[in-house]
Chain A
């Protein structure tokens, strides 16, 4: 969570920005709900502690009315949340961008290999130009892996026999983001070590780098 908060403060690429906004909405709703309901419970426990001369059976048993009201409140919160999720689905829809850079990702026990449009291949390091729209075609050579870049709020499973697509906007700040890419599905003894760096370079250096 501390990681997420720091993301909110810095200038963010689009996918991370969309995620932060949606997450903050859920967090606000969730925190409010938890605080209200738990406080109510604690209040009741204190207020109605066993006491002499109190006969609990003389009060009517609550029926469906309160339930209906709470259901309505909850429903409106849930519908709002779901609506915002669907409105944020640009994050999980591949953009129709002719300038997008397509990169193939192959997961294996244990590492990631990246193949760029011109056939250049790197191991455990994904190099992209700053701010560019990147579309990844992800698959696996052996077992089920999951390719995730938490700082960009994107993840996609790497599944043998299946090619999945995922997109993200590269960070605006150049530099090497160490261990930014990890495997998020148990894939054997080396699962913890299936880490890759994300290297962000300027547009010109990327052209030089890719043709070298």
Chain B
């Protein structure tokens, strides 16, 4: 009995199975959704009548901030990622995700970040209170002192790291793990829309990580990126944040579109209308353009008029593909045999609400109209129609649609219909009044009784209670179905996509591909099935190490804080070494199937595809920092003279050392390609020595600079910001070099073991990519800091 319980627990904590990780994601995200909803209800209660003092201004600001942060980052996206974990591999016939342990690590990092968000409420001074957008300098320690905000930002960084790892994993999975027969044109719509989502995540989250790392550096290390008014840090933050923030809107929305596209086909009995128009316009208009509209959030920050017009036009242009998608969705219903089951109701409701939210969005593309709407409740109404209306309704459709697949049981249709009707009414009572509150500022904790504000706010608050009450029905449904629901037929909706057992002739869509895995799907008794157990304790342990270490960071000036950091680092080191040993001893092996649809990456190995995906996000990550530095140089009234602080000869020498290590690493790779293990070891050794010399010189340079008074804490503003940027960027690069040196020890050990051969040397190949990338960054950092 006891043993059984332990095994059960192990089965969840150490799991790397995509379905179990998916279920963990879904339940965890719903928990955070609950927390976010409670915060929202607190706010709506405070605003239900004028001059209310239910909440203080300070706590209201914490609630408004964390409601946004938690709902967007810990509820909406992770719920979609949970579905993606469970269903993307099934839909494309893959056994699991491309990197199962990395997937588990993504989940645990997400949870760890979430725990930081929760505990931030309970430290003295409370949580972050600058809004989810945290316009600087409000988030710096001068205006938001205390450990709470620091913990929020650190947890947020963990989440962004988790998302980046997940993006690499999903892109590799979708392109490299498809079963024979699942060609590009047969990829189901949910997988497609998850793919678009993941691509947007891959390229936008690095900018957010960069912005948050700069902010945490300000709060913890005392750099001055966001506190020195003379370099206009507010605009720097706005750019970095919204460069991420606008694609984020589509990141939240597109998974729901994927669900809606599946549900519409199944419940109308018609194939998706204009499917290729939807896919192509999303791929070539929505995705690229989502990175080119962010400045419509900055129309009143005083950016030049020409720039406002460019971004106004790009914003209006991005509404066009969404118009096409919406109309194609509606056209799908034409000549159909529409069954109004709960998934269909929520999908249709989501489309209706998206139409309203989309149209109010067009208003916000106009710089002239923005002079009234910016920062008002009109904006709040608009994005809730999109993020709650379209996204949450779409995802709830997904819950009802896939619940029979995940549990093998059927939910109660009558209750689900009531749930929809009450939700739909409650939603509109809650959010429609906000469209009318065009003059009421967002995020104010109280207001006087003027005009129609008391009426509209009162109505909205009533709507909030109705909407929230309706969700109790959802929670009851899920739990009740899971434990007590009547058995469901294996494919209750007659869906044609491959996550459902294809017992009968598919109703719509593509024919089922060839291959044995369909049989595997058929025999599966979902919910009770024995999940194949590839357990690994490393992901959770590694996360625990990171969690403990970061928990100490806000308190690093006390000995208790230092001790916490050290304990965390020990756990981290233990699990990293353990992970490496697993690989050395081949204890955790993922067997890739020989055949599969891999176009257009059929010539690339799985690991290399993952590595290049990761590197492309690193381009944005480092590029954002370099961009921030260029911005600071352009905004700063003056700068330190070339050659006056940094020694050019030493910098040049160090550059040559690093470049030479790039050469020896390339030679190491060439050696093993010819099967020469001895030369591989020799060149790895030389690379290691050159890299170490580079770091040694770096450290001595820093010691020298510090002794000369080139310090972040300098009273001279120019020196302070110059030192901030130098130590931060060069230090970040140094951290990458150091990480590379550590990995090299592992590579040398594996080389000595003779585990790299002419045929199998992917580890060396990928490390060579990483090491060269570190070189590339330095090619820019050297001239930027030493010569310009």
Chain B residues with Cβ below 8 Å from A23 are 363, 369, 372
**Residues of B within 8 Å of A, CB-based: how many?**
94
Please report which residues of chain B, range 132-164, place their CB below 8 angstroms from some CB of chain A when the two chains form the complex: 135-138, 143
- Decide if B229 touches A30 in the complex (CB within 8 Å): no
A189–B368 contact, CB under 8 A? Answer: no
B97-124 CB mask vs A (1 if < 8 Å, else 0) is 0000000000000000000000000000
Which B-chain residue is minimally distant from A161 (CB atoms)?
A: B229
Considering the chains assembled together, what is the distance between the CA atoms of A45 and B344 in angstroms? Answer: 10
Query: Is A117's CB within 8 Å of the partner chain B?
Result: no
Question: In the complex, what residue of chain B is closest to A141 when comparing beta carbons?
Answer: B229
Q: Does A104 belong to the interface (CB within 8 Å)?
A: no
Instruction: Bits for B355-374, please: 1 = Cβ < 8 Å to A, else 0.
Output: 11001101101111111101
Which residues of chain A have C-beta atoms less than 8 A from B129's C-beta?
188-189
Would A22 and B372 count as touching, CB distance under 8 A? no
Q: Is B273 in the interface zone, CB < 8 Å from A?
A: yes
Tell which of A49, A78, A148, A156 touches B302, judged by Cβ atoms closer than 8 Å. A156
Query: In the complex, are the beta carbons of A157 and B368 less than 8 A apart?
Result: no
- For B451, what are the chain A residues with a Cβ–Cβ distance below 8 Å? 2-3
Chain A residue numbers with a CB within 8 Å of B452 are 2-3
Task: Tell me, yes or no, whether B320 is within 8 Å of chain A by CB.
Answer: yes
Bound together, the chains give a CA A148 to CA B370 distance in angstroms of: 11
Q: Does A9 contact B (CB under 8 A)?
A: no
Please pick, from A54, A75, A153, A155, the residue contacting B375 in the complex, using a CB distance under 8 A: A155
Q: Measured between alpha carbons, how far is A14 from B276 in the docked complex, in Å?
A: 48
**Once bound together, how far apart are the Cα atoms of A68 and B160, in whole Å?**
38
Counting CB contacts under 8 A, is B333 at the interface? yes
**Interface-facing stretch out of B197-205, B264-272, B740-748:** B264-272
Complex Cα distance, B259 from A117, in Å, reads 60
A41 and B19 alpha carbons, distance in the complex (Å): 35
Q: How far is the CA of A91 from the CA of B366 in the complex (A)?
A: 12
CA distance A71 to B322 in the complex (A): 10
From the candidates A1, A44, A85, name the one contacting B368 in the complex (CB within 8 A).
A85
Q: Is the CB of A144 within 8 A of B316?
A: no
B105–chain A nearest beta-carbon distance, Å:
34
B312 contacts A82, C-beta separation under 8 Å: yes
Binds B, one of A31-39, A95-103, A122-130: A31-39
Given the known inter-chain contacts A49-B340, A62-B334, A78-B320, please indicate yes or no for A160 contacting B441, CB distance below 8 A. Answer: no
Contact A192 B330 (CB under 8 A): no
In the complex, B526 has a CB within 8 A of chain A: no
**A164 adjacent to B316 (CB under 8 Å):** no
What's the minimum C-beta distance from A180 to chain B, rounded to whole angstroms?
10
Decide if B273 touches A91 in the complex (CB within 8 Å): no
Closest-by-CB residue of A relative to B136 is: A144
Closest to A30 in B: B359
> In the complex the two chains form, what is the Cα distance from A189 to B62 in whole Å?
10
List the A side residues contacting B130 at CB < 8 Å.
Answer: 186
Give the residue of B348, B366, B374 whose beta carbon is less than 8 angstroms from that of A184: B374
The answer to whether residues A26 and B363 also contact, given A56-B335, A154-B371, A191-B444 and a CB cut-off of 8 A, is: yes
Q: Is A146's beta carbon under 8 Å from chain B?
A: yes
Does A56 lie within 8 Å of B270, measured CB to CB? yes
Given the interface pairs A71-B320, A82-B316, A155-B300, the reply to whether A146 lies near B438 with Cβ below 8 Å is: no
Closest chain-A Cβ to B413's Cβ sits at a distance in Å of: 14
* Contact A70 B360, CB 8 Å, known A1-B436, A143-B137, A155-B374: no
Q: Which of B312, B328, B446 contacts A67 (CB 8 A)?
A: B328
For A71, the chain B residues whose CB sits under 8 A away are 320, 323-324
Residues of B within 8 A of A (CB): 56-58, 61, 64, 129-131, 135-138, 143, 228-235, 268-271, 273-277, 300-302, 305, 308-309, 312-313, 316-317, 319-320, 323-324, 326-328, 330-340, 348, 351-352, 355-356, 359-360, 362-363, 365-372, 374-376, 435-436, 438-439, 441-448, 450-452, 508
Report 14 cross-chain contacts, Cβ distance below 8 Å, ordered by A residue.
Answer: A26-B362, A44-B336, A64-B277, A78-B362, A82-B366, A85-B365, A153-B371, A153-B372, A155-B370, A156-B302, A159-B234, A165-B302, A184-B442, A191-B443
